[in-house]
A = this chain, B = another copy of it.
């Protein structure tokens, strides 16, 4: 388990290092990102931030999340159908398992992707920069529900 505090600190440090400003809104957003295990949507982050910072706007959440993504402090999981989801705890590519019923997203322990990229480079000539691996299925609790 990563210490939430240190992740928040590292994000703040990154902001300062690039001379972006540390505003109360940004602090609130990045706290939600780090404390969420659920891979929240922007809308969800917005709700949580508003509860103790009521004047925050949705646009600011979008802007902050995009900024953190560009600084590699957040992993964006884009979905064409429905909203994007964000992971502030493991801001690097890793596999996800997604429930197609309840939209829950979990991080499984899986290895064996790194060696594929060297194989790929040889075969395709591409310079590989990042990847995305999602498994879609039905989670245990939805399996019961819909049986």
Secondary structure call for the A interface:
mixed
What is A's interface to B at a CB cutoff of 8 Å? 78-81, 84, 97, 99-100, 106, 108-110, 112, 116-117, 119-120, 123-140, 143
> Which chain B residues border A138 with CB–CB below 8 Å?
126-127, 129
Known contacts A78-B79, A80-B78; A135/B139 CB under 8 A: no
Given contacts A112-B112, A125-B139, A133-B133, 13 further A-B contacts (CB under 8 A): A78-B79, A97-B120, A100-B129, A106-B124, A108-B123, A110-B120, A125-B143, A126-B139, A128-B135, A129-B137, A131-B135, A132-B132, A133-B134
Q: Which residue of B lies closest to A134 (CB)?
A: B132
